[in-house]
Chain A
Amino acid sequence: MKILLIDFSQENEIKILKAKITSSITIESAFMINYKENDDYYKDLQRSLEERKLLNLPVYIVPLRKLVKTQVFNLPKMPVKEIRAILPREINSATGTSDPVILDFIHQEYTEEKQVKKIEVSAFYITRKEVFEFLDQLKNHGIAPISLIPEIQGLTALLNTHRKDKEEKGGTILIDIKDNTINLNIFKKNFWSLSREFHFRYEPAEELNEDELSRIIVEVNRTIQFFKQRNRNYYINNALLFGDISRLTDLQSYFRENLPMSSDIFTLGLQQTKISLPQSVEDTEEFVQFFSVALGTLLSIQQKKYLNLFPVEYREKEILPKRIIGFTISAIIIFFILTVGIIYLNGIKKSYRRELKKINKSYFTLNSKAAIIETTKNDRIKFFKNRFFLDFPAKYSFSIADFLRRLSLISSVKIHLTEIEITPKGESFYFLLKGFIMGQDNIRAQSEFLSFFRQLKDFDNIFQVNSSKVRVNSSRQGELKEYGKKEDSGNSGSNSVELYFTISGDYEL
């Protein structure tokens, strides 16, 4: 990932690093812009970035030291989420203002003091107004940062690299010497606790005089005393100097003599931190001292663990116009689709309505003939009804005569029909035959009946025939009679089985 880091932390200096961050950090280019108080340094910065074609990279910003305020709170034990929720209120009450702030914080582990669990929280914040103004300035000059990382983050990272393999107990005072300003940062182990800045008289190419050195020592001691007042039983055992390389050696020896702690000049293990510098850098030590905060910040970015004062709402505010445009476009598309749907459906409805109107017209034309058709239809129905009425007697009598004749033809000697009943039924008549069969045994009587029934069923005009109540009785004595035959002496008295039956059905006229 290639990024652009712009370090505004030092007044009158803007340090810019283009770096490639992977498992190592490769500084591809580094440059600095010096400006005076009334200069339009944003313009210079924009021009420089445009010239180097760096504006398309994701931009990380270290804001001006003065812009970022700090506040340390001792809070009772509570979840981190809750700390974040109460901090704006706490800051406002500590500063006595009601300005909304953009903040981030770090916290130490819980400590128990007089059986009460406490947590020390260091909050870093910028007022909303200031940060928006700052971001607007950047935006106006084509710079759209994605993170605002306070200087403390870079210093913490530097301290972490320096403290490795060293005693972790006790605090460290970081003394950043730049031009005529000394910035002091006191850390409890790796946890930032206090910052202070003061100026000293500086004339280039001149050595610091005794008075000025004494004043510096007094200021440093005063800061340490202030720290000790707030953090009883805590001592600072190390002073770490960095910044203006030309002053560092002198000041180191002076501090060693006058401060009750070890004084070291900060050195960054480039191999250890896997930072590679541009080939154009001739004096590595000077480069490291000069870009120390920026390098420390890069280390934090690499670890993806850093304080960020970039306001989410600013990003949302930035995105809002795009969102509105996107929403409008999608709304237009949806309304367009719905409108097309309405037009399409209306078109279909219209075409159906037109067709319906057309068909209705032809239907009404035809419908006018309906009365005549209906009359003719009724006349014809009446005619067929009357015709049937007139023809019925002859048809019926002929069919009955025919049925009786055919019945006599299929009735064998053994079949005795005792009763035939015929009832007219529309265009057919219903018949009911009752009788019995004399047989030598049940099987013969049954087969005789079946033969008769089958023949009856085969009559062309019969369309429904049923047999029921078939039962077999023991033989009875006496003579039997059959229609159309006077007497059959051959069977009389010798049969042993009588099979009584009833057959009904419909006969078509």
Chain B
Amino acid sequence: MKNKFLIGRIISISILIFIIFLYFILYFFPSLKSINKYKREIKDLNLRITDFIKMETKFVFSDNREKQVFKDLDQELKEIIPVVKSREDYLNLFMEVSKEIKNWAKIDNVYNLIITSSSDELEVSASSVSSDKKTITELLNFTTTRLHQIKTAQEINNQGINPDPTSNIGPTTPGPQLKFQKVFLTFTGELPNSVSFINHIPWSSRYIRPDKISVTEGEYTPYFLVYIKIYYSDLRKGNE
């Protein structure tokens, strides 16, 4: 009889514990979970609202002056990047830039200057601004060696081994297809003159972008190699 009552007691306590267990499993813990979820959502929304408020204070809307500045810059970009519609335009662009560079080389008293392009479209062209034949021969040798090295390096780059870190830098304005012509300037001269010359390259008359520059010890004066890119909008047929 005692056992019977003991079993009854155990069963009733077990039922009670089971009810409490069910309460915790089916109600209490899910409730805590949903409360925490609400808390997180509220926190997240508050943060978003704060972000919006910050943005609102930083961004002034319907600012016509700002829009004008944007437009001016777009215009500046359009003006500085010449439009190439034919091969003639393309050659003229290169000739004009070369002419300007040569002028500055003379002004800055650079001993020798060779302007080269490794492009298939633009054949290698050398131009000297000095009559010192010994120096120009050495400079030509230097240029040939370096161009070979650069070509090899480019081939490696094209395989994606060492991508050009500045290749993604460019105007974001949609429009004519933006292209550039790679040109190498090799020259020799006294350091101050050479440095002045680098500064005088007409960077802003057209969009000419300097790339790699190397200075190598020469017999009397150092040899400079400046790698530049002349940008243009290519509107020739088959390029649009």
A486 — nearest CB in chain B belongs to which residue?
Answer: B220
* A-B pairs with lowest CB-CB distance, top 10: A393-B203, A352-B38, A420-B215, A366-B52, A345-B31, A422-B213, A401-B195, A421-B214, A418-B217, A313-B1
Interface residues in B195-213 (C-beta closer than 8 Å to A): 195-196, 198-199, 201, 203-204, 207-213
| Measured CA separation A356–B216 after assembly (Å) | 68
Determine the main DSSP class of B at the interface with A.
helix
Q: Specify which chain A residues have a CB less than 8 angstroms from the CB of B216 in the assembled complex.
A: 418-420
Q: A383 and B70: CB pair below 8 A?
A: yes
Q: Which size bracket describes the interface of A in this complex? A: 35 or more
| Measured CA separation A370–B55 after assembly (Å) | 9
Is there a chain B Cβ closer than 8 Å to A204's Cβ? Answer: no
| Measured CA separation A306–B224 after assembly (Å) | 124
Q: B61 and A376: CB pair below 8 A?
A: yes
6 intermolecular pairs with C-beta atoms under 8 Å apart: A382-B172, A387-B73, A392-B169, A392-B209, A420-B215, A424-B166
Is there a chain A Cβ closer than 8 Å to B12's Cβ? Answer: yes
| Measured CA separation A356–B12 after assembly (Å) | 42
Across the interface, B217 reaches (CB within 8 A) one of A373, A393, A408, A483, namely A483
Across the interface, A405 reaches (CB within 8 A) one of B39, B49, B195, namely B195
Q: What are the interface flags for B71-93 relative to A under an 8 Å C-beta threshold, 1 for contact and 0 otherwise?
A: 00110110010000000000000
Is there a chain A Cβ closer than 8 Å to B132's Cβ? Answer: no
Q: What are the interface flags for A211-232 relative to B under an 8 Å C-beta threshold, 1 for contact and 0 otherwise?
A: 0000000000000000000000
| Measured CA separation A331–B19 after assembly (Å) | 10
Is there a chain B Cβ closer than 8 Å to A1's Cβ? Answer: no
Q: B165 and A424: CB pair below 8 A?
A: yes
Q: Which size bracket describes the interface of B in this complex? A: 35 or more
Q: B2 and A393: CB pair below 8 A?
A: no
Interface residues in B110-147 (C-beta closer than 8 Å to A): none
Is there a chain A Cβ closer than 8 Å to B16's Cβ? Answer: yes
Q: A421 and B217: CB pair below 8 A?
A: no
Q: Specify which chain B residues have a CB less than 8 angstroms from the CB of A346 in the assembled complex.
A: 31
Q: What are the interface flags for B28-57 relative to A under an 8 Å C-beta threshold, 1 for contact and 0 otherwise?
A: 100110110011011001101100110110
Q: B217 and A417: CB pair below 8 A?
A: yes
Is there a chain B Cβ closer than 8 Å to A377's Cβ? Answer: yes
Is there a chain B Cβ closer than 8 Å to A170's Cβ? Answer: no
Q: A423 and B212: CB pair below 8 A?
A: yes
Q: Specify which chain B residues have a CB less than 8 angstroms from the CB of A476 in the assembled complex.
A: none
| Measured CA separation A342–B70 after assembly (Å) | 60
Interface residues in B164-220 (C-beta closer than 8 Å to A): 165-166, 169-173, 190-192, 195-196, 198-199, 201, 203-204, 207-217, 219-220
Is there a chain B Cβ closer than 8 Å to A396's Cβ? Answer: yes
Q: B213 and A400: CB pair below 8 A?
A: yes
Q: A356 and B56: CB pair below 8 A?
A: no
Q: Specify which chain B residues have a CB less than 8 angstroms from the CB of A486 in the assembled complex.
A: 220
Q: A393 and B204 in contact (CB under 8 A), knowing A369-B52, A484-B190, A484-B191?
A: yes
Q: B217 and A401: CB pair below 8 A?
A: no
A331 to chain B, nearest CB (A): 7
A427 — nearest CB in chain B belongs to which residue?
Answer: B169
Q: B217 and A363: CB pair below 8 A?
A: no
Q: A316 and B210: CB pair below 8 A?
A: no
A64 to chain B, nearest CB (A): 24
Q: Specify which chain A residues have a CB less than 8 angstroms from the CB of B204 in the assembled complex.
A: 390, 393-394
Interface residues in A337-385 (C-beta closer than 8 Å to B): 338, 341-342, 345-346, 348-349, 352-353, 355-356, 359-360, 362-363, 366-367, 369-370, 372-373, 376-377, 379-380, 382-383, 385
Is there a chain B Cβ closer than 8 Å to A200's Cβ? Answer: no
Across the interface, A421 reaches (CB within 8 A) one of B2, B195, B212, namely B212
A422 to chain B, nearest CB (A): 4
| Measured CA separation A382–B73 after assembly (Å) | 10
| Measured CA separation A459–B56 after assembly (Å) | 40
Q: B49 and A312: CB pair below 8 A?
A: no
Supplied contacts A373-B56, A419-B214, A481-B219, 6 more A-B pairs, CB within 8 Å? A341-B28, A369-B56, A373-B55, A393-B210, A405-B195, A418-B217
Q: A408 and B191 in contact (CB under 8 A), knowing A313-B1, A421-B214?
A: yes
Across the interface, B20 reaches (CB within 8 A) one of A334, A362, A417, A421, namely A334
Q: Specify which chain B residues have a CB less than 8 angstroms from the CB of A392 in the assembled complex.
A: 169, 209
Q: B208 and A401: CB pair below 8 A?
A: no
| Measured CA separation A363–B173 after assembly (Å) | 33
Q: B23 and A386: CB pair below 8 A?
A: no
Is there a chain B Cβ closer than 8 Å to A254's Cβ? Answer: no
| Measured CA separation A400–B220 after assembly (Å) | 22
Interface residues in A448-498 (C-beta closer than 8 Å to B): 481, 483-484, 486
| Measured CA separation A390–B209 after assembly (Å) | 9
Q: B166 and A312: CB pair below 8 A?
A: no
Q: A483 and B49 in contact (CB under 8 A), knowing A373-B59, A386-B173, A401-B199?
A: no
Q: What are the interface flags for B146-165 relative to A under an 8 Å C-beta threshold, 1 for contact and 0 otherwise?
A: 00000000000000000001
Q: Specify which chain B residues have a CB less than 8 angstroms from the CB of A202 in the assembled complex.
A: none
Q: Specify which chain A residues have a CB less than 8 angstroms from the CB of B166 in the assembled complex.
A: 424-426
